[in-house]
Structures are given as C-alpha cells and as structure tokens.
C-alpha cells in the first residue's frame, strides 16, 4: 500500500517503511543506540532525499527513544543523574559542533575528512570491543577475578559525584566530557551519537552494562528533539508523516528489543554491538574506496 | 519571471516556424483555421496522500498533414553535477559543473521516431529529445570544455534513473486525418511546479506550427496543508512533530506494559 510523503515529495510502500522502522527499533531497544547511522542510509537507499532522510530520522528517534527510555525506566535501568550530566555536556558539545561544522565547511572537503575520521574511529572501537567481549566470554573465570571497577587516572579528578544507580563515585568532569564529545560528533555527523556514547559509557565511565542503554536513550530523547526542531526551522526537511510511520514500526521493535536485551549477558551484548560497529565502519570505508557505479552525482535545486 | 520565459518560448516558436502561423483572427473576418490546436485533459495534477502517479491525455487537431511531437518540460532548475576521482585510494568529488535551466522533468512523445521527423539542427534548436536538452553553464567551472559533454550526459542519465527524464513517454496516435492523441504518464515522484506541454506540427523537416499548454503540478488536500504549515510555521511544525513522536513513544510503552 503506497502512501504519499508530503515533505519528501514522493510515495512509498507503507509496509517497507514499517519494517524498516521495526528493524531499527529492535537495535535501539537492545543496545540503546539510536540507529540513526543505519536508518538514514537505508532511507536514502529507498529513494528519500538525503536532507529529508537525516531530519526525519531525528524526528523518528524522539519517539523511539522515549519508548525505549520508559521501558528501561520500569526496569530501574536509567541513571538520571548520569543522564543529566551527559546531557549537559552534550548540549554544549552540539552548540560547538554546529559552529565547528560551519568553519570546516568553509575550508572545503569537510564531508570527506569526517567520513575518514569516523571510519577509523568505528574500526578501532569495534576491534577493541570485539576483542574485549570475546575474551570475557572465553575466559569467564579470569574475568570474574576483575575488581568491581578498574581505576584509571581520570578517577582522581576533582568534582566527584555519586551516581547511585550506576554504583559509581567519579568526577562529574568525565561524563560531562563524554557527553561533550558525543554532542560534538552528533552535530558534525548528523547522527544521535549513541554509537560513540554507548561504548564510552561502558569503557570510559565503567558503568554497569545494564544501565547503559536506558541512560543513553534518556539523553538521546533530548538531543534528537533539539535536532528535529533545528532542522524544521533551518531547512524545513522534517517529514512528520514519514517519521510517524517509521515510529509505528519502531516502537514495537524497541519494546521487543528491550525484552531481548534483558535476556542477554553483558559480554554478549557488547560482542553484538562490536559486530555492528565494525559493520558500520566497514560500510563507511567501502563507500569511500569502492569504485562508484556512477562517477557523476547530481544535485537538483528547484527554485 | 517564469511566465515571461514561457511567453518568450512561444514567441521563439512562432518566429521559428514559417509565417503560416496564423495571427489572432480579427473579428468578422473569415480566416484559415488554426493549423494546430491541442489541449490537455487536465491542467492541474493534484498530489494527495494516495498519489501514485497520474496519467493525462493530450488531444488535438491539425489542419495540415505532418508529424506531431509533444514535449513535456518541468520547471527550470539548477543542476549541480560533480565528478569523483580516486585520490590515494579514496573517491572524492573533484570537479563540479552547474547547469542553469535544466528542466526538473522532461518527456517526449512523437508520431514517428524523432530523427525521421526533423533534422538534428531543428531538434537542437528547440531542445527536443533527451540528447538535445542543453541548459546553460552557470558560474565559473574547473571542468575542461571537452569534458562538458560527459557532465551533460550524466545529468540525463541520473534524471532518467529517477524516472524524471523520459524519452518516448508514449506514441502520438492519429485518429483519422486531423485528430491526434497521446497518453502522458507521470511517475509518483513528479516534481512540483509549472510545466509547459509543447506540441509541434512538423512537415518537410520544418516546424509548421507550435502550441504551448500550461500544466501545474501541485499538492492538494492534507498534503498541501502539511507542507504549507511546515513552511510558514516551521517552529510550531517542529514542536508538533517532536510532541507527536514523543506521544507515540509513550503510548506504545503503555500498550506494551499492560501485556
């Protein structure tokens, strides 16, 4: 059944959109990543104009992350204090990111630089996570001897704060810095930033894996909402009809995902996430290096 | 501005054809009938929520023998073309060319193959046929003149891929000696804007008469309202979009909790 999308200016099969939303929702529920890094390219692949795809994904993300956050909240898996500090850092980061984006753009080839950096970041992160989680799975007795928290030099920083839910007593500067970097990335890359935030929360903040998806989703709600409003005002590219159809599939997927995530062990969850991070990195590298089908690209501006 | 463009086009058509193109008949005088009359079954395509494409019929009558060519031209747009090159193993955009006045949509129908009806020079002059769509180069470019053709071909190729450039949308059929008709199909992704549907009567490799009929592709119903609202009240639209999404997420989580 086809439905016409007013802002995208085209009609699409409703069931394709529902299925797409469902698949992304599942990922988001399991890992606490927004899935924007996957949703946007998939929307572009089925023919939605890139600008509309980016903005409508953000809109969809608002609903999906609200749904996911509430589901995790009921299981007591959202650390509000941690989420708040991350968010504060994230907002500052995204403001600076928007400014940095304009600056880089004036210098030219900004997209290329970002793609290369992102591919390297995802590749390195994915390999590290995969190795770590495989080691944890294979040598469980050894891993069990690990201390409750490993102490890095950052734990000596001032402004210590107690995060009860995460059982952490660390400097607020660390999560604020993680949030800041996430906000910076999401402003420049146009994605939710969950991709960077989730591994950072696990490995840098040393949060319990169970707390990570809910807390990540909590702050994504606000980041996605601000991106949606900014896109609507600045570019007029938010297709609310598209976003709502994706959401219907997405919320169902997210609820199922949250349940699945409860049945998985921490290291399994991390290994799966690592595999997806690696796949995304590989795709970015492939996009940059594989000979394109058509060397020419067209951008049509209708007055 | 656009209106003047079309007017200019019509004037150009009149100038290109022989003087047989009749001036407006003075009242009270018996004059020769118009050599060519054509019209569309509808002058507006309204795009609503269930829009999956449209089909119009162009019908007309000719008072002289000859072939008919129908050209559908979408609103003139700016086409930015870029070419990728491999630098250190990575494909990056290096050269760019901007073409001004490229039709957002373009389709041709004719009663016989174009090259049998008219010489290349004439087709080029009136930009009839995909190979003869030649928008002007705008602004400075780093593309060498001998590479220009490749960029122009790429424009047509990409637009054909998106079903926005179509050669031979249909065959113009004659019904008897005078009447003709052609079905013109438009895809679901047809761009909005003011179109011009040109009909040419060609005889002995010359354009004998031409007529331009306007066509408006626009949104209708709920779509038009949503688009209008998103444009004029963008902040409110953004806030509502966020609120609707958050509400949907909340409702879903309640629905699932009760199970």
Distance from CA of B233 to the nearest CA of A (A): 9
pLDDT digits (tens, 9 = 90+) for A86-103: 889 888 887 787 777 767
Q: Assign A281 a pLDDT band (cuts: 50, 70, 90).
A: confident
Query: By three-state DSSP, how is residue A219 classified?
Result: helix
Query: By three-state DSSP, how is residue B164 classified?
Result: coil
Of B76, B90, B102, the CB nearest to A288: B90
Q: What is the pLDDT of residue A303?
A: 60
Residue A149 token pair: 């928290």
Q: What is the pLDDT of residue B15?
A: 41
How far, in Å, CA of A6 to CA of A244, rounded? 13
pLDDT digits (tens, 9 = 90+) for B110-120: 998 888 899 99
Of B141 and B110, the one with more pLDDT:
B110
Q: What is the pLDDT of residue A191?
A: 62
pLDDT digits (tens, 9 = 90+) for A201-230: 887 788 888 888 888 888 888 888 887 887
Residue A48 token pair: 């939605």
Let me know if B219 is exposed, middle or buried by CB neighbors in 10 A (0-12, 13-18, 19+): buried
Let me know if B35 is exposed, middle or buried by CB neighbors in 10 A (0-12, 13-18, 19+): buried
Of A192 and B74, the one with more pLDDT:
B74
Q: What is the pLDDT of residue B230?
A: 86
Beta strand B44-47 with B206-219 is: parallel
| Inter-chain CB proximity B154 and A252 less than 8 Å | no
Residue A172 token pair: 């607020």
Residue of A232, A239, A249 to mutate for B, most B C-beta atoms under 10 A:
A232
CA dihedral B230, A190, A84, A181 (to 10 degrees): -150
Distance from CA of B162 to the nearest CA of A (A): 9
Flag the least confident range among A16-25, A125-134, A158-167, B122-131.
A158-167
Nearest CA among A294, A106, A298, A292 for reference residue B82: A298
**pLDDT higher than 80, residue B21:** no
- Under the phi-then-psi rule, with left for phi > 0, alpha for psi from -120 to 50, and beta for the rest, what region is B9? alpha
Which DSSP state fits A6? T
**pLDDT higher than 50, residue A255:** yes
Chain A residues within 8 A of B86 when measuring between CB atoms:
291
**Residue that has been written with the tokens 């169902």 in this structure:** A252
Q: What is the pLDDT of residue A286?
A: 84
Residue A188 token pair: 């420049």
* Length of chain B counted residue by residue: 259
CB A271 within 8 A of CB A40: no
Which DSSP state fits A264? S
CB B130 within 8 A of CB B21: no
Residues 6+ apart with CB under 8 A from B48: A4, B219, B220, B221, B222, B223
Phi/psi at B118 (5° precision): -140, 150
Residue A73's closest chain B neighbor by CA? Answer: B253
pLDDT digits (tens, 9 = 90+) for A115-161: 777 778 778 878 887 887 888 777 754 444 444 555 555 566 667 77
Chain B residues within 8 A of A74 when measuring between CB atoms:
257
How far, in Å, CA of B73 to CA of B54, rounded? 16
**pLDDT higher than 90, residue B105:** yes
Let me know if A54 is exposed, middle or buried by CB neighbors in 10 A (0-12, 13-18, 19+): buried
Of B159, B248, B253, the CB nearest to A255: B253
Q: What is the pLDDT of residue B88?
A: 82
Q: What is the pLDDT of residue B18?
A: 41
C-beta atoms surrounding A276 within 10 Å? 20
Residue B250 token pair: 């909340």
pLDDT digits (tens, 9 = 90+) for A4-15: 888 887 778 889
Residue of A240, A241, A294 to mutate for B, most B C-beta atoms under 10 A:
A240
Q: What is the pLDDT of residue B254?
A: 84
**pLDDT higher than 80, residue B129:** yes
| Inter-chain CB proximity B219 and A6 less than 8 Å | yes
How far, in Å, CA of A96 to CA of A93, rounded? 5
Q: What is the pLDDT of residue B14?
A: 41
pLDDT digits (tens, 9 = 90+) for B166-225: 887 668 899 988 899 999 989 888 888 899 999 999 999 899 999 999 999 988 878 788
Q: What is the pLDDT of residue B231?
A: 83
Which DSSP state fits A165? T
Chain B residues within 8 A of A229 when measuring between CB atoms:
235, 238-239, 242
Of B30 and A66, the one with more pLDDT:
A66
**Residue that has been written with the tokens 């309640």 in this structure:** B254
Flag the least confident range among A75-89, A284-298, B209-223.
A284-298
Q: Assign A106 a pLDDT band (cuts: 50, 70, 90).
A: low
Q: ipTM above 0.85?
A: no
Nearest CA among A67, A32, A71, A78 for reference residue A215: A78
**pLDDT higher than 90, residue A53:** no
Distance from CA of B156 to the nearest CA of A (A): 10
**pLDDT higher than 50, residue B5:** no
Chain B residues within 8 A of A292 when measuring between CB atoms:
84, 91
| Inter-chain CB proximity B104 and A300 less than 8 Å | yes
Decide if B181 touches A, using CB distance below 8 A.
Answer: no
Q: What is the pLDDT of residue A145?
A: 44
**pLDDT higher than 70, residue B90:** yes
pLDDT digits (tens, 9 = 90+) for A177-210: 888 888 887 777 656 667 778 878 887 788 888 8
CB A243 within 8 A of CB A74: no
**pLDDT higher than 60, residue B22:** no
Helix, strand, coil abundance in chain B, percent, nearest 5: 30, 40, 30
Of A236, A244, A254, the CB nearest to B234: A236
Flag the least confident range among A109-123, B92-106, B135-149, B153-167.
A109-123
Q: What is the pLDDT of residue B179?
A: 93
Of A99 and B244, the one with more pLDDT:
B244
The arithmetic mean of pLDDT across residues B11-18, rounded, is: 42
Q: At what angle do helices A50-74 and A212-234 cross, to 10 degrees?
A: 150
Report chain A's terminal Cα–Cα distance, integer Å. 31
How far, in Å, CA of B122 to CA of B68, rounded? 14
Size of interface A-B (CB pairs under 8 A): 186
C-beta atoms surrounding B199 within 10 Å? 25
Decide if B151 touches A, using CB distance below 8 A.
Answer: yes
- Residue ranges of A 88-127 with Cβ closer than 8 A to chain B: 109, 112, 116
Residue A225's closest chain B neighbor by CA? Answer: B242
Flag the least confident range among A33-47, A289-303, B191-205, B213-227.
A33-47
Q: In what order do the strands lie in the sheet containing B36-40?
A: B36-40, B54-62, B179-186, B173-175
Of B72 and A294, the one with more pLDDT:
B72
Q: What is the pLDDT of residue B12?
A: 44
Decide if B235 touches A, using CB distance below 8 A.
Answer: yes
**pLDDT higher than 50, residue A274:** yes
Please provide the average confidence, as pLDDT, over all residues in chain A.
78
Q: What is the pLDDT of residue A151?
A: 55
Tell me if the pTM is above 0.80. Answer: no
Chain A residues within 8 A of B245 when measuring between CB atoms:
59-60, 62-63, 66, 228, 243-244, 247
Residue A25's closest chain B neighbor by CA? Answer: B249
Residue B241 token pair: 């979009």
CB A139 within 8 A of CB A130: no
Please provide the average confidence, as pLDDT, over all residues in chain B.
82
């Amino acid at each position: 059944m086809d439905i016409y999308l007013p802002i995208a200016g085209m009609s699409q099969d409703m069931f394709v959109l529902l299925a797409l939303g469902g698949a992304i929702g599942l990922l988001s529920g399991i890992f606490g990543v927004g899935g924007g890094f996957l949703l946007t390219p998939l929307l572009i692949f089925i023919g939605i104009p890139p600008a509309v795809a980016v903005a409508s994904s953000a809109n969809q993300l608002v609903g999906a992350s609200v749904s996911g956050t509430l589901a995790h909240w009921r299981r007591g898996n959202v650390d509000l204090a941690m989420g708040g500090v991350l968010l504060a850092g994230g907002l500052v980061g995204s403001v600076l990111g928007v400014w940095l984006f304009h600056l880089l753009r004036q210098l030219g080839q900004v997209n290329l630089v970002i793609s290369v950096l992102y591919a390297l970041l995802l590749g390195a992160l994915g390999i590290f996570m995969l190795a770590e989680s495989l080691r944890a799975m294979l040598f469980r007795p050894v891993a069990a001897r690990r201390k409750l928290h490993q102490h890095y030099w950052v734990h000596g920083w001032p402004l210590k704060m107690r995060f009860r839910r995460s059982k952490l007593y660390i400097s607020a500067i660390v999560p604020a810095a993680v949030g800041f970097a996430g906000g910076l990335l999401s402003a420049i890359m146009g994605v939710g930033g969950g991709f960077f935030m989730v591994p950072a929360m696990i490995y840098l903040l040393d949060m319990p894996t169970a707390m990570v998806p809910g807390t990540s989703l909590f702050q994504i709600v606000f980041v996605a909402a601000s991106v949606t409003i900014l896109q609507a005002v600045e570019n007029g590219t938010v297709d609310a009809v598209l976003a709502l159809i994706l959401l219907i599939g997405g919320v169902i997927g997210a609820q199922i995902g949250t349940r699945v995530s409860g049945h998985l062990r921490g290291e399994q969850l991390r290994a799966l996430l690592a595999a997806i991070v690696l796949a995304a990195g590989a795709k970015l590298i492939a996009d940059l290096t594989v000979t394109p089908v058509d060397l020419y690209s067209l951008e049509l501006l209708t007055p | 501005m656009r209106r003047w463009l079309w007017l200019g086009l019509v004037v150009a058509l009149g100038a290109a054809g022989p003087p047989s193109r009749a001036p407006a008949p003075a009242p009270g005088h018996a004059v020769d009938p118009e050599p060519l009359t054509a019209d569309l079954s509808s002058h507006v395509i309204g795009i609503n929520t269930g829009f999956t494409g449209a089909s119009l019929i162009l019908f007309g009558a000719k008072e002289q023998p000859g072939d008919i060519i129908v050209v559908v031209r979408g609103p003139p747009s700016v086409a930015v073309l870029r070419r990728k090159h491999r630098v250190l193993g990575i494909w990056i955009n290096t050269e760019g060319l901007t073409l001004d006045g490229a039709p957002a949509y373009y389709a041709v129908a004719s009663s016989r193959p174009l090259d049998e009806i008219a010489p290349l020079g004439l087709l080029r002059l009136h930009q009839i046929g995909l190979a003869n769509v030649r928008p002007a180069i705008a602004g400075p470019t780093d593309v060498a003149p001998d590479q220009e053709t490749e960029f122009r071909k790429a424009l047509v190729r990409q637009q054909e891929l998106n079903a926005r450039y179509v050669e031979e949308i249909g065959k113009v059929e004659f019904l008897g000696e005078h009447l003709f008709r052609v079905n013109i199909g438009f895809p679901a992704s047809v761009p909005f804007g003011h179109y011009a549907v040109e009909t040419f009567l060609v005889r002995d490799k010359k354009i004998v008469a031409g007529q331009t009929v306007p066509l408006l592709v626009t949104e209708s119903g709920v779509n038009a309202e949503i688009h209008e609202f998103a444009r004029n009240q963008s902040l409110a639209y953004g806030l509502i979009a966020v609120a609707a999404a958050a509400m949907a997420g909340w409702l879903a989580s309640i629905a699932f909790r009760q199970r």
